[in-house]
A and B are shown apart, each in its own frame.
Chain A
């Protein structure tokens, strides 16, 4: 209910938006999405960038969604916060971060499509040193998510209900109309299959190589 009320508020500070994105509450995240979709500094700015660089409306939306994923991943896994820059002594705006991320994502996509190298990336307030680790963390998590997406709908649903929504085995069994034992078995098998895929990915292969070479 409180989320619904907040929807009608006019202004959210950057820290409000980050807190709501981190909260795990779907209503709060919907407010963040709607706010960013409308506020000129967020999606409209990214949209202008993409349309001005040979992209389509669809590309703009896709990049905006990826920027949200980068931000969400970093907020949740690396504790990303807006930090004051030592030279300017004030934190860059969240929209500036998002714009810089969008620029990098789009140029990367553009390079992939046109096979053309783009080099003029260092024109933002946010340096590559800050953005690149954010992008790398996202790429790593995205790669693992893509492995999960290959598992099939049933596995995805059981893992989503048990891990994200924290449903009990009983509730999952009731929802999917299967036995509790079936849910337990499925959960173990799906998790194992996902782990297997992750362990066999090049990302983990390099971890093994690093360890073995250091010995």
Chain B
């Protein structure tokens, strides 16, 4: 019993990183000596890591389906089938032609937003910008190169690496936020754009502009319009673009 408890305790303390230096070296020696023991510990270690990740993922999935369920109850009430069929028939007869012609003359909300966003391309890292950030920095050059090749995963990692040495680099934060936007991590992009646009730096205005576009992508009209109004009244380089986009948004039935 004592022996069993000792092995169990020892393995648990190893898996929880609680062994002292001396204990750890003895444990590692034991693993080298005893192949069965090593296999058991490695297997347990992997299973534990898998279980941690799986538990977090499953909890997230549960929250997601609960949220979906609350957004639209569906099938909560018994509906008279005959009544439903009559309504459906009327809707098909009257609605189909309207829907068909409407889709030709008026693009849907999704089409409208897509058209807006597709008009604007990712910003290019120019020579002047790289001079602001760094004259000859290999990480910056590698990040710029991956970014130009649209390899946003690699570019993002390199911009993060660059910022470890230069935490105040607004340029790196700005381009990293663009990468996040391209990788569809809009919530993270919003946090980063906001940080750049709230401080005085060369990327402030452009960051506000892309933040507005991100809000547009998220269909957050209120936040987008508010930012565009600020940009258009600031008389900066993005003033005209902001006015143009504001007009487009106001003229569309978006909302």
List the interface of chain A (C-beta within 8 A of B): 1, 4-5, 26, 29-30, 33-34, 37-38, 43-44, 47, 57, 61, 65, 68-69, 72-73, 76-77, 140-142, 144-145, 147-149, 156, 159-160, 163-165, 167-168, 171, 174-175, 191-192, 194-196, 198-200, 204, 207-209, 211-212, 215
Contacts and interface: CB of A to CB of B under 8 A. Distances in A.
Given A171-B192, A192-B17, A196-B16, A212 B7 contact: yes
B110 A33 contact: no
20 contacts: A1-B114, A4-B110, A5-B110, A26-B64, A34-B68, A37-B74, A47-B75, A72-B58, A142-B58, A144-B58, A145-B59, A147-B55, A163-B57, A165-B187, A195-B15, A199-B15, A207-B47, A208-B8, A212-B4, A215-B36
A30 B68 contact: yes
Interface of B: 4, 7-8, 11-12, 15-17, 36, 40, 44, 47-48, 50-62, 64-66, 68-69, 72, 74-76, 110, 113-114, 160, 185, 187-188, 191-192, 195
Contacts of A69: 58, 61-62, 65
B57 A164 contact: yes
8 nearest CB pairs, A to B: A144-B55, A148-B55, A145-B55, A145-B58, A163-B56, A164-B60, A144-B51, A208-B8
B4 A171 contact: no
A109 to B, nearest CB: 17
Interface of A is mostly: helix
A34 B51 contact: no
A4 B218 CA distance: 12
A5 B239 CA distance: 32
A171 B56 contact: no
A163 B64 CA distance: 16
Interface of B is mostly: helix
Contacts of A72: 58, 61
A162 B68 CA distance: 23
A211 B40 contact: yes
Given A207-B44, A212-B7, A43 B66 contact: no
Contacts, number: 122
Given A1-B114, A37-B74, A156-B56, 11 more contacts: A4-B110, A30-B68, A69-B61, A72-B61, A76-B54, A142-B58, A156-B59, A164-B57, A167-B188, A194-B52, A199-B16
A156 B223 CA distance: 29
Given A4-B110, A144-B51, A207-B44, A175 B191 contact: yes
A168 B59 contact: no
A33 B75 CA distance: 13
A145 B188 contact: no
Contacts of A199: 12, 15-16, 48
A168 B160 contact: yes
B56 A195 contact: no
Contact of B69 (A1, A65, A159): A65
A142 B54 CA distance: 9
B241 to A, nearest CB: 21
A57 B65 contact: no
A113 B226 CA distance: 54
Contacts of B195: 174
Interface centre among A30, A77, A192, A199, by most B CB within 10 Å?
Answer: A199
Given A4-B110, A196-B16, A199-B16, A163 B72 contact: no
Contact of B64 (A29, A44, A168, A194): A29
Contact of B72 (A34, A198, A207, A212): A34
